[in-house]
Amino acid sequence: MAKIAKKIKKMVKNKGKKAEAQKEPLLLQPPRGMKDILPEDQPYWDHIRRTTERLSREYGFMRIDTPLVEFSNLFARGVGEGTDIVEKEMYNFVTKGGDKVALRPEMTAGIARAYIQHGMNVLPKPIKLFSTGPVYRYDRPQEGRYREFHQVNYDVFGEQDAILDAQVIQVAARVVQSLGIKSVQIQVNSIGCATCRKEYKDLLVNYLESKKQKLCADCKNRMEHNPLRVLDCKEDKCSQVAATAPQSVDHLCDECRIHFKCLLEYLDELELPYVINPQLVRGLDYYSKTVFEVWSGDEEGRKSALGGGGRYDGLIKMLGGEQAPAIGFGLGVERLIIEMKRVQAKPYRAPKPRVFLAQLGDLAKKKSLKLFSELEKNGILTAESFGRGSLKSQLRVADKIGVELTLILGQKEALDKTVIIKNMVSGVQEIVSTEKLVDLVKKKLKTDNVVTYHDNGSH
């Protein structure tokens, strides 16, 4: 009896929850800070996808995809407990099984975890990995900064030579310029290694103590956990303090100074437009030595940060793997699209169909599906308007698309196993058997100009 009573109680409770959920108003919109990517914006996204994937292949990067959800302590340990990301912006939750997990706020920690877990340290060096996808931060939404946003990441493991720093920066600049954003500036700095940074931190803290009253509340807390991040604060009063602060590049050890000097020489050789920004530190704890950001905008015009990165030589060891030097960067897709639109960069244009398939009658509809499939298999990009009743309305669609040929399949043609080919420019029509149709269409379109689905992704 006790079991039955318990079961009834549970059923009543679930029914109450269901009724309560049904009473809640249905908001026909995504949560704040998240947005739909509509068809009219997809050409920009396609351009970024195709460009970043093509360049990843050309520079020897292998694709890797990691989960959207990771254990929370991966980010606490890797990104840093004192960072805004971990303290304020992470989407943390506990699963039904009791696991403490989070939506990824950035991609590098997850990639580093995968590197360790799957023993990638045995692969030939350097190990280059490319990834792309959404990331999540509970931050105040504004233009170019959403709570769900998308990044492309390029990471290199196993090599500490400054030539890799230069190549990674070169890739970042190539991506941005290949998207039609021609005016690019690289801001670069060195924050040193664990050895020389300790002395620099002490010097910086002493300076910040003397200016403490001028700092915002967040920066007063940062002084205790990560004083370098005070230099990165966007508050005006903190920026003024940072402008006269001691500079990390003046307090590098010999190894870090030589590394930074070599990097600048490589950048000069590549003729990349860069400036040294002493206030640049980046917001994550795992960075060391080289840090950089990619900016767009003319000298006198509006400037905007599109992404950045740097070295994280200690991250793999920090997460429990063998010591492995590493460098990488990420670019914000939404920010890239905003800038592409601002400079009127051309988005990717998909190949247009040059053939339209029109059908009339029930039997013709059945036959047209197979005919469409045959055209597609042979690489002939074909448009159609299945479901439209009249031939006149279908021809209007064909005319609007701007195809060169319209294939007309009616009841008689379906029975005779023929198709009418109409030249949309001259209006001339001819009847051809379905067996010879594909070859004739290819000939009319001139085989070398046929638009195919099976392209290699280049443009």
Q: The CATH number of the domain where 392 resides is what?
A: 3.40.50.800
**Last residue of one domain, picked from the residues 317, 342, 367:** 342
- Give pLDDT, residue 16: 58
User: Could you tell me if residue 228 is inside a domain?
Assistant: no
Same domain assignment for residues 178 and 275: yes
Question: In Å, how far are 30, 136, 335 from 146, measured between CA atoms?
Answer: 12, 8, 10
Residue 210 in any domain: the answer is no
Neighbours of 436 (CB within 10 A): 12
Residue-wise pLDDT for 68-97, tens only, equals: 999 999 988 877 766 667 777 899 999 999
**Do 317 and 441 belong to one domain?**
no
Task: Specify the 3-state DSSP secondary structure of 135.
Answer: strand
Q: From CA 184, how far away is CA 294, in angstroms rounded? A: 7
Q: Quick one: pLDDT at residue 238?
A: 87
| pLDDT value, residue 6 | 64
**pTM, two decimal places:** 0.85
CB–CB of 226/80 below 8 Å?
Answer: yes
pLDDT score at 5: 62
Last residue of a domain, one of 286, 315, 342: 342
Whether residue 299 is found in the same domain as residue 167: yes
Whether residues 285 and 180 fall in one domain: yes
Residue 350 lies in a domain: no
Cβ–Cβ under 8 Å, residues 126 and 157: yes
Q: Is residue 395 part of a domain?
A: yes
* pLDDT, tens only, 333-358: 999 999 999 999 999 998 899 999 99
The structural domain count of the chain equals 2
Residue found by looking up tokens 């990067």 in the block: 61
User: Could you say which residues of the chain have pLDDT below 50?
Assistant: 447-459
Contact 137, 107 (CB under 8 A): no
Instruction: Indicate the residue among 321, 342, 363 that finishes a domain.
Output: 342
Greatest CA span in the chain, whole angstroms?
93
Q: How far apart are CA 62 and CA 76, in angstroms?
A: 27
Judged on CB neighbours under 10 Å (0-12, 13-18, 19+), 28 is exposed
* Same domain, yes or no: 117 and 152: yes
Amino acid 82: pLDDT: 63
DSSP 145: B
Whole-number pLDDT of residue 448: 41
* Domain coverage including residue 361: 355-449
Shared domain check, 331 and 186? yes
189 and 96 belong to one structural domain = yes
Residue 298 sits in a domain of what CATH number?
3.30.930.10
Instruction: Say if 247 falls within a structural domain.
Output: no
